[in-house]
Structure 1
Amino acid sequence: MPPRKTPQKRKSKWDSENILTDPKSPLATADLRTVLSNPLAWTTLNIEERREILSLFPDMAHTLDADRDNARPNFESLLNDDGFRADCAAYVENLARGKHDSEWLRDAWQAHRRRKAGDFDEFLVEKFETDWMELPDEMRSKKTQKAGEESYTAQAESQEDEEAKRDATPRTEPWTDLVGEMAPENPTHTRSHSLLLLQKLLNLRDAASPLTLVLDNLEQPARPVIAEFIGRAKISKVKVILLSFATVKKPKDVDVVVTAAGKDLRIVVKELVGHYPATDAAQKPSQRAVIIIDSINNLASSAASTLSGFLSSIITPTVSIISIYHTDVPIILPKSFNEYEPHPFIILSHLATAILRLSSLSQEIDRQKARNRAVQEPEWGLKEGREGVIVGLKSKSSSGGDSNVVIEMELRRKSGRSVTENFILAPGQGKLGTGKLMLLTDYSIFAAPEGNGTGEEEEEPQSTFNLGLTDKQKKDREGIVLPYFDAQTDIGAGEGGRILYEMGREDDFDDEEDEI
């Protein structure tokens, strides 16, 4: 018989290189954590390979006999380590996606270097502003700031060509006076987050606030803030509709004016809806609209009981409302108004998703100076209580300028939590048209004093725990009513204090003790 030929073993197509880089590698579907935790995977290595692997460990926490020649991984602790589990899963996933291929790695490192150099900053900023809101200047890179300034300048020049020709004299920006008194920037996350929220609200991005309530008075009208809303709406190509109760002449940059004074609200609703941008249910709406109510006091006086229903009927996912409420104009309720119903202002405050309380920067500076001197704060206008005084005189000594507005923002999230912060708005007077924002605490006179070894910081003991109270805890502490707190209010003068005590059932009282 001829000798039987032994079949030759088929050579595997996987070697030590392609098994670690090919997306079709068996490792792409294997349980890598179990494979590496097998003791046989360690015993098959020589001494040099073992030392090389142990040198790559971040620390010796998972190494047994680390200072000896028989040092080895602690497989029991590795199996319970979350980092080891996550890294094994990430490697298998990246291997299956081809992210360990040599060409992919070369392109990835090249893209990494380009991104580090800032080649993609303009694209990322544009995508962020399209999805969210306008990015503040302090969060932009120098390269993106330059490109953004050029694009904004070109857009503003085309929109305000006539205004530039009409006023050829150079203007002095009031913001330059503010910069000199600004406190150093605080690059904390809270500061940037607060500025982003107000920027998103002013830009009318993604229905940040369906109903915004602007509270103004004679001392600080809402005109600068409304002009800021309208200017940013024109840049974002948002249709501006003015619901007029007191405005006679059509303002600049307003697309449509709907007169509502003396009209039936049902007719007003139909007229407003007729000016809404056309929407397609199958597609994402391409244009948004904003309704500006110049004086909601008139609406609250004439239709107090139907106020909430009217506002709900004109709000849509693509339409938001900005209403102005004059705090110093009283609302005259009709005789038919139910006295048990809440006041219209309470209803508006409850419905509003954002409330902007406005005040003059020059007056706030004078108030802060009075607080710093521990004297009574000054009042202006109607609050002065002087006969014939309606509007207070502006302070001439203030360097902030009368055009700058202090905004106290109260933004309510969908979860019900409210975010409050104070800002300063300097209305834009240049070619760009948009104003500039800063936190009130960034202004020097409102900045919190730094710890200098005196004051309240010295009274607190040094501890690893935070022994201070939050604002909510302080408010809760003030609201606690102690027992017998008002028991001594009727005591006459000169009688001194008394210790009040009520005896309980457990008290053992002997009448004869008083006779001793």
Structure 2
Amino acid sequence: MPRPINAVQYQRHAIQLISSVLNTRANASPFTLILDDLNQRAIPFLQQLVIRALSRNINVVIVSFESTRFQPAVRNVSAWGNRTAATILADIEQALSDRKESLVIIDSMYDAVATKNIDTSTLFNLVVMKYTSNLVGVYHTDVLPEPSASGADAYAPQPLELLKFMATSIITCRSLSHVLAAKAARERSLAEPTFGMQSGAEGIVQCLHANDQRGIVLEAEFRRKSGRPESETYFLRPGRDSDFHQPVGPQQLYGTLKQEFVILLEQHPAFANKDAVGMVVAADDEMETSFNLGLTDKQKAAREGVVLPYFDAQKQEGGEGGRILYDMGEEDDFDEEEDEI
């Protein structure tokens, strides 16, 4: 697709990229990796994926390591407990075998890869290659990987790095309140605040205003077939009943989408408003110092009356521009013999 030439085309192109992922379009993103943490969970984004997929009669399969509540039409593959990798893969294949188009969601990719030792290549080939379906995996970035007991895997890539390498789209979830606070700090040339475990405070894993109810911020990276990545930041508000058409027939739980309501973050009123600077409560309006940086009128007049070095010499014409002017005082001792030398 040619590059946009104006702002309207740019916005339309950016919305189309994220809309293709949300609506599970074919070949839009075979493997989507979602990164979240306790400050902003990926649940609002996953809910939109499930609702829009069910509205288009797409088979939704959730491989659950953590989830316990599902939509009635969703097929659940339980992966917790003593289930082995071979059993989980067999159940996934059985859930995909009788449908033409499917969406597979794994709610904890770390547990799938590190705990159950599910081979990512085998999982990708099963879902994407064999059944031409879309794979979505959630990775919790605040879960620290366990150190290897043996030194055999010391040089092996970490699970997150391997998943990022394989993913065709990477979406990082952010809290809207935290994004606005970071923007306000940048506008005041202050250090951006840190949240959750990144703050380094003992005992803090989730900060105030986490999981903002107004919506979720999505930092998306789309990887094209040519290898050129495209990065955009979006805002996804909670869906409403008015955003969807009425279901057609008793078997359809959700109607199709009327109009896309995901927008670019720069289009959000709170982000575009310059008053967002006031959200930073950690910084005062003035710099706190032990001395006064200002000057009184008397001090300004004295400063203007100071004659700079070589100021008179610069007024001379010809070759005397570098002549030094010096007036001897009473305390100066003039040595005639040294002057003659």
**Alpha-carbon deviation of 1:388?**
2.1
- The structure where helix makes up a greater share of residues is 1
Structure 1 distance, partners of 2:200, 2:189, is 22
1:233 to 53, 58, 64: 53
Which runs of 5 or more residues in structure 1 are unaligned?
A: 1-185, 280-286, 450-516
- Letter matched to residue 419 of structure 1: E
- Deviation per CA, 1:277-324, whole angstroms, max 9, x where unpaired? 536xxxxxxx41111101111122225583333333333353111100
Alignment match, 1:164:
none
The 1:401/1:218 distance shift into structure 2, 3 A limit, reads closer
Is the counterpart of residue 441 in structure 1 residue 266 in structure 2? yes
Is the counterpart of residue 218 in structure 1 residue 38 in structure 2? yes
Is the counterpart of residue 245 in structure 1 residue 58 in structure 2? no
Q: TM-score, normalised by structure 2?
A: 0.68
Aligned to 1:188, the other structure's residue is in SS state helix
Q: Residue 62 of structure 2 contacts residue 77 of structure 2 at CA under 8 Å; is this kept in 1? A: yes
| Map 1:317-332 → 2, pairs under 5 A | 317-332=131-146
Structure with bigger gyration radius? 1
- Letter matched to residue 146 of structure 2: I
Alignment match, 1:257:
76
Q: Residue 148 of structure 2 contacts residue 154 of structure 2 at CA under 8 Å; is this kept in 1? A: no
Q: Residue 203 of structure 1 contacts residue 229 of structure 1 at CA under 8 Å; is this kept in 2? A: yes
- Deviation per CA, 1:453-473, whole angstroms, max 9, x where unpaired? xxxxxxxxxxxxxxxxxxxxx
Alignment match, 2:220:
409
**Alpha-carbon deviation of 1:188?**
2.1
Bigger relative contact order (CA 8 A; separation at least 6): 2
Aligned to 1:410, the other structure's residue is in SS state strand
Alignment match, 2:111:
298
1:289 to 102, 105, 109: 102
**Alpha-carbon deviation of 1:419?**
1.2
Which has the higher mean CA deviation after the structures are superposed, 401-410 or 300-309? Answer: 300-309
- Letter matched to residue 278 of structure 1: D
Is the counterpart of residue 308 in structure 1 residue 117 in structure 2? no
Is the counterpart of residue 423 in structure 1 residue 234 in structure 2? yes
Alignment match, 1:345:
160
Structure 2 distance, partners of 1:258, 1:388, is 34
Q: Residue 230 of structure 1 contacts residue 254 of structure 1 at CA under 8 Å; is this kept in 2? A: no
1:267 to 80, 87, 99: 87
Structure 1 distance, partners of 2:194, 2:148, is 32
- Deviation per CA, 1:353-401, whole angstroms, max 9, x where unpaired? 0100110111101111111111122222222222222210118xxxx95
Alignment match, 1:335:
149
Q: Residue 214 of structure 1 contacts residue 323 of structure 1 at CA under 8 Å; is this kept in 2? A: yes
**Alpha-carbon deviation of 1:201?**
0.9
Taking only aligned residues, the RMSD between alpha carbons, in angstroms, comes to 2.5
Alignment match, 1:121:
none
- Letter matched to residue 79 of structure 2: A
Identity value in percent: 29
- Letter matched to residue 17 of structure 2: L
- Letter matched to residue 347 of structure 1: L
**Alpha-carbon deviation of 1:238?**
0.6
Q: Residue 197 of structure 2 contacts residue 206 of structure 2 at CA under 8 Å; is this kept in 1? A: yes
Instruction: Give the total of aligned pairs.
Output: 252
Structure 1 distance, partners of 2:20, 2:240, is 21
Q: Residue 406 of structure 1 contacts residue 423 of structure 1 at CA under 8 Å; is this kept in 2? A: yes
- Letter matched to residue 260 of structure 1: A
The 1:403/1:444 distance shift into structure 2, 3 A limit, reads closer
The 1:225/1:255 distance shift into structure 2, 3 A limit, reads same
Structure 2 distance, partners of 1:346, 1:239, is 29
Structure 2 distance, partners of 1:332, 1:314, is 27
- Deviation per CA, 1:62-93, whole angstroms, max 9, x where unpaired? xxxxxxxxxxxxxxxxxxxxxxxxxxxxxxxx
**4+ residue segments displaced more than 4 Å:** 444-449
| Map 1:92-491 → 2, pairs under 5 A | 187-247=7-67, 249-261=68-80, 262-278=82-98, 287-303=100-116, 306-315=119-128, 316-336=130-150, 337-394=152-209, 402-432=213-243, 436-444=261-269, 446-447=271-272
Structure 1 distance, partners of 2:158, 2:204, is 28
Which runs of 5 or more residues in structure 2 are unaligned?
A: 1-5, 245-256, 275-341
